[in-house]
Structure 1
Amino acid sequence: MSKNVVVIGGGIIGLCTAYYLQKEGHQVTVIDKSNFSEGASYVNAGYITPSHIIPLAAPGMITKGIKWMFDSSSPFYIKPRVDLDFFKWSWAFKKSATAKKVEAAIPVIKDINLLSRDLFEDMKTSNDFEFHYERKGLLMCYQTDKVGEEEWSVGKRAIEEGLQVENLSLEEVKKIEPNANLNIKGAVYFHSDAHMTPTNFMPKILAYLKAQGVKIQANEEVKDIEVSSNAISSVVTSKGTYKTDEVVMAAGSWSPLLTKKLGIEIPIQAGKGYRINVERETNITIPSILCEAKVAVTPMEGFTRFAGTMEIDGINHDINPVRVNAIANAASNYYNGLEIYDTEKKAAQCGLRPCSPDGLPYIGKSSKCSNLTIATGHAMMGWSLGPATGKLVSEIISNKKTSLDLSSYNPDRKF
């Protein structure tokens, strides 16, 4: 049965949700307070990441976070502030950062990433719209033996999960990446991963959705959500009111601000990430993470992107030049002869990634509202998990058996 569905949020999650909902024959309206050309979905590293099996909330991250709290250039920076939601999230993060919980999360994260990679490839072969997609894997490049051992322990755990992983010496890395002039000791090579160009994909899927009759409402802010008998009856924006059968909450870091109107608390903190684009030849052909610096490097269509940092500092888009410089310095440190120019650093942008306390997204219905499906909290895997999340949401709304068990993503889960 066709339903009238309002999707709140026009990032990768919201647009992929609209893609699968319209495939199921539903009438879809996507509402976003931006003009569909900015935010985390446009400035991310463009990775599809079955390799990322370890959630952010892992043993040792609390200790590192406290140490890095006093260094604004650190890869993971938490700005201390007096905020009740922040304290609740931090406590839930601490409780989630145990070996037992991480071990339980590993197959869950791997499976949804593999599903999403397959769906990206299905999109590509469908010829619905053309976009850049390459599957060259991911190099985890390290400069110290200690970090190399840590990365290989993750690699060996990934092998147990069925992924193809190699531990490469510098000489072996040079055979597959001969001209990048890497300054490293070696790399752990995940063959499972792929990469894309977000600024190529997003306009293409948006144009496709418009052509299919999906209503795209730009520059509209959701002001209120009207509820009747435990169900949303309409969504009120700065420009109008939308009657609806179902609502999808895919507003990223802003989602908790809206669900609170319904008495639903979903612990999320905005994790700010930065990107620098280098629109000249870098001789980098394989996506790489510079491990000690936690910087992602992606050869995109027409440029190379350097992205990184996780900054927990509330909802804002302030650019911290110290953190931009840290990314640029890492690039020069890991690639001999590569310099990122001041003009490129000044053009840096940031985006806010919605981080749950346990590193797993929220996907599913809340028991507190019968026709609301929540799809947020993907942290650094938002791009990777776009299609899988959209597919799962469409299955929920269409009353179909879901492609994955959703219990681990339950929006009502306790921490």
Structure 2
Amino acid sequence: MKNCIVIGGGVIGLCTAYYLHKEGHQVTVIDQSSMDFGASYVNAGYLSPSHIIPLAAPGVMKKGLQWMFNPSSPLFIKPRLNSNFLKWTLAFNASCSSKNVQKGIPAIKEIAILGRDLYTDIKNDENFSFQLEKKGLLMLCQTEKMLEEEIQVAETATKEGLTTKTLPKEELQKLYPDTAVQAIGATWYECDAHTTPNTFMKEMKNYLEASGVRFHKNEKIENLSFNNGKIVSIDNSTHTYTADEYILTAGSWSNQLSKLLGINLLLEAGKGYRINSDRNLGITIPAILAEAKVAITPMDGFTRFAGTMEIAGINHRINQVRVEAIAKATQRYFPNIELTPEEKGKAACGLRPVSPDGLPYIGKSSKCNNLTIATGHAMMGWSMGSATGKLVSELISDKKPSLDLDVYHPDRKF
């Protein structure tokens, strides 16, 4: 048994704590927040092996530059005179290649499928009640060009063994009998599932606390002691913590601590927004509005509208222009759905940690023997959360990992 400290209490941190506990380790979770907000609570709730194309793909950087002066665009990269941001931007640009896509497809698919299936195992094993439905995911398209692109992606997914189909407009309307759909067609990933994130997070925290996992909330780790290739302790102005193994799952804040060890973890915070509606809007199957990059999910008792990728540093400011963009896009595809000022006024955001190549960092850096890094999942943190937790626990328990981790190595070059 090892004494383990997990730094960060989002979905990656909680799932890591869960699997470490299952392996018999002593676990402490430390988080700088109250652990009831952020990316793990405001995401679209998708368990989506369908998302096989990494964020860094051909043409994305060019599109980002075109959108740079449009604050309502799906991808908004705010230029900053910051050395870390400039290094990340250069690495991201270099990763926007066909080679990166070919590397990313199997890496994303395998960990996302493992993650999807592990959520089912967790629910069954612990008798959790969180929503877990396997209705698939629709990619709704309004233009022939986008539909052709989505069909190509679906054909790639089919070759990878995922279950997909293409639907004409008439079939789409049958899937949404209670609301009008404005789209010419869609691809349907029947392999996907969806959840209600805050319910899962609450149940997992309650389970872990009842099982003896210790939590220290509102505790920001500011320093660490390092000797002979190992972390000796971590601390802030009021507390010092020691452990055998340290796991860094602090999301967009992870590189702030990794720098103290000389680990240059290229990472940028990608802000996403969500709007919730408690009204019955007729959305029964999760959908992504392909041109607008907006996700719509029928959750447990409400419907969630989520989207945008705003790379503008670490902040939780709500940009109302981007909130309005989500609402307007929704009404373009579903003309009968008009989000109210009150619903838009309660919009929330979360920061997703984005690596330059769109793949997570999972593993031990050569610079520190007792630190395992698990961050950088971009928009796939929820999908990959359970799988990442299991992989980390296998590393620390000296077991053969369920997946080959070389492609996720935190020391990889860009």
1-structure distance, mates of 2:279, 2:62: 39
Instruction: Return 171-180 or 271-280, whichever deviates more.
Output: 171-180
Residue matched to 2:257: 258
Residue matched to 2:77: 78
Amino acid at match of 2:347: A
2-structure distance, mates of 1:355, 1:70: 21
Matches within 5 A, 1:10-89: 10-89=9-88
1-structure distance, mates of 2:234, 2:210: 24
Gaps of 5+ in 2: none
CA-CA distance at 1:129 after TM superposition: 2.7
Q: Paired residues, what number?
A: 414
What are the Cα deviations for residues 129-169 of structure 1, in whole angstroms up to 9, with x where unaligned? 32111111000000000000000100000000001110100
Residue matched to 1:249: 248
Amino acid at match of 1:215: R
Residue matched to 1:367: 366
Matches within 5 A, 1:290-309: 290-309=289-308
Instruction: Return 91-100 or 229-238, whichever deviates more.
Output: 229-238
What are the Cα deviations for residues 70-97 of structure 1, in whole angstroms up to 9, with x where unaligned? 1000000011111111110011011111
CA-CA distance at 1:238 after TM superposition: 4.5
2-structure distance, mates of 1:130, 1:283: 23
Residue matched to 1:383: 382
Residue matched to 1:144: 143
1:120 counterpart = 2:119: yes
1-structure distance, mates of 2:215, 2:408: 28
Amino acid at match of 1:366: S
Residues 373/128 of structure 1: CA separation in 2 closer, same or farther (3 Å cut): farther
Residue matched to 1:224: 223
Secondary structure at 2:382 match in 1: coil
Amino acid at match of 1:260: K
Amino acid at match of 1:304: T
Instruction: Return 23-32 or 99-108, whichever deviates more.
Output: 99-108
Amino acid at match of 1:387: S
Residue matched to 1:341: 340
2-structure distance, mates of 1:160, 1:179: 34
- The question of whether the paired residues in 2 share the 8 Å contact of 1:220 and 1:239 is answered with no
- The question of whether the paired residues in 2 share the 8 Å contact of 1:224 and 1:237 is answered with yes
2-structure distance, mates of 1:81, 1:345: 29
Residue matched to 1:322: 321
- The question of whether the paired residues in 2 share the 8 Å contact of 1:32 and 1:217 is answered with yes
Amino acid at match of 1:218: K
Amino acid at match of 1:235: I
What are the Cα deviations for residues 183-216 of structure 1, in whole angstroms up to 9, with x where unaligned? 1111100001110001111111000000000001
Secondary structure at 1:395 match in 2: helix
CA-CA distance at 1:178 after TM superposition: 2.0
Amino acid at match of 1:35: S
Secondary structure at 1:385 match in 2: helix
Gaps of 5+ in 1: none
Residue matched to 1:9: 8
2-structure distance, mates of 1:174, 1:127: 38
What are the Cα deviations for residues 260-281 of structure 1, in whole angstroms up to 9, with x where unaligned? 0111111000000000001111
- The question of whether the paired residues in 2 share the 8 Å contact of 1:221 and 1:238 is answered with no
Residue matched to 1:180: 179
- The question of whether the paired residues in 1 share the 8 Å contact of 2:359 and 2:377 is answered with yes
- The question of whether the paired residues in 2 share the 8 Å contact of 1:324 and 1:348 is answered with yes
- The question of whether the paired residues in 2 share the 8 Å contact of 1:220 and 1:238 is answered with no
TM-score normalized by the length of structure 2: 0.99
TM-score normalized by the length of structure 1: 0.99
Residue matched to 1:283: 282
- The question of whether the paired residues in 1 share the 8 Å contact of 2:4 and 2:246 is answered with yes
1-structure distance, mates of 2:10, 2:317: 20
2-structure distance, mates of 1:44, 1:239: 33
2-structure distance, mates of 1:135, 1:319: 32
